[in-house]
Amino acid sequence: MLRPALDFVLSALEQIQENSERKLCASRTAIDRLFQTLPVMSSKIDLLAAVQARVAVCTKCPHLASSRRQTVFGVGNPDAEIMFIGEAPGVDEDARGEPFVGRAGQLLTKIVKAMGFARADVYIANILKCRPDMPPGSFGNRVPTPLEMQTCRPYLVEQIDIIQPKVLVALGAVAVEGLLGTRGTMRELRGRWHSYNGTPLMITYHPAYLLRNQSPSEKRKVWEDMLQVLERLERPIAEKQRNYFL
């Protein structure tokens, strides 16, 4: 995996050189750091791919394995500073094989961009890798059962251990239960720092909640949680960002 990654970087540098009027220069220190980083990134990609391969053929929950279109593993930067964790794929995610691509996912992407990141900069995953099955003819999505979350949780734990994000963000009370094994109301949980195995954990509302509740005050609560995340990462916060969602 190292060779393709190196080829990609060199190709990008060549394109910058061709499209720039100024000569492209890089210090020996910068080059050394680049080559030190590539093996780590490649290793994470390989490790995640191995877990994803096991997830793709998982039948630990036979009822979910038989009803899903495909598993939904996770997406984003394997070296991400922030990892967002939801509860389970919905119908759109089950069709696409990617988490948070429906209406709630579009809102999450908007929030990520407002924080100053591209969606590809962060990592997004769910507690469950399969969409919870629904009775024939029914619509919507059901909440994962505690047993389903307990069964699937080890895959998420592996993802977190490989990526080693600086901050985790749990989206909604169900995600919190699946990650920490504890129940609680969002009123009690959100807006303050928790910890998952030593990693700072911010709990906030699921984007789907904001779609149901269009109150500006609820949107502001989520944004205040994200401002705390930016502060924890020691990211500069512009005045426009501080006033966002007001």
Cβ-Cβ contacts under 8 Å for 112 (sequence gap 6 or more): 84, 118, 119, 121, 122
pLDDT tens digits, 159-168 = 999 999 999 9
How does residue 210 score in pLDDT terms, banded at 50, 70 and 90?
very high
Answer for the pair 82, 229: CB distance below 8 angstroms, yes or no.
yes
Higher pLDDT, 162 or 40: 162
* Per-residue pLDDT at 221: 94
Query: Over 50: is that where the pLDDT of 181 sits?
Result: yes
* Per-residue pLDDT at 5: 47
Query: Over 90: is that where the pLDDT of 204 sits?
Result: yes
Distance in Å from the first CA to the final CA of the chain = 45
Cβ-Cβ contacts under 8 Å for 143 (sequence gap 6 or more): 87, 88, 132, 174
Which of 17-31, 73-87, 220-234 has the least mean pLDDT?
17-31
Average of pLDDT values for 157-183?
95
Average of pLDDT values for 40-59?
91
Closest CA relative to residue 175, chosen from 134, 199, 223, 208: 208
Joined together, the tokens standing for residue 23 give: 């000569």
* Per-residue pLDDT at 21: 55
Average of pLDDT values for 45-54?
95
* Per-residue pLDDT at 102: 92
* Per-residue pLDDT at 4: 44
* Per-residue pLDDT at 226: 97
How does residue 49 score in pLDDT terms, banded at 50, 70 and 90?
very high
How does residue 39 score in pLDDT terms, banded at 50, 70 and 90?
low
How does residue 28 score in pLDDT terms, banded at 50, 70 and 90?
low
pTM: predicted TM-score of the whole model, two decimal places: 0.82
Average of pLDDT values for 92-118?
96
Strand pairing category for 82-86 and 123-126: parallel
* Per-residue pLDDT at 26: 60
* Per-residue pLDDT at 183: 85
Cβ-Cβ contacts under 8 Å for 195 (sequence gap 6 or more): 201
Closest CA relative to residue 206, chosen from 65, 99, 69: 99
How does residue 41 score in pLDDT terms, banded at 50, 70 and 90?
low
3-state secondary structure the chain: CHHHHHHHHHHHHHHHHHHCCCCCCCCHHHHHHHHHHHHHHHHHHHHHHHHHHHHHCCCCCHHHHHHCCCCCCEEECCCCCEEEEECCCCHHHHHHCCCCCCHHHHHHHHHHHHCCCCHHHCEEEECCCCCCCCCCCCCCCCCCCHHHHHHHHHHHHHHHHHHCCCEEEEECHHHHHHHHCCCCCHHHHCCCEEEECCEEEEEECCHHHHHHCCCHHHHHHHHHHHHHHHHHCCCCCCHHHHCCCC
The sheet carrying 193-196 orders its strands as 74-76, 123-126, 82-86, 167-171, 199-204, 193-196
Arithmetic mean of pLDDT over the chain: 87
Query: Over 80: is that where the pLDDT of 23 sits?
Result: no
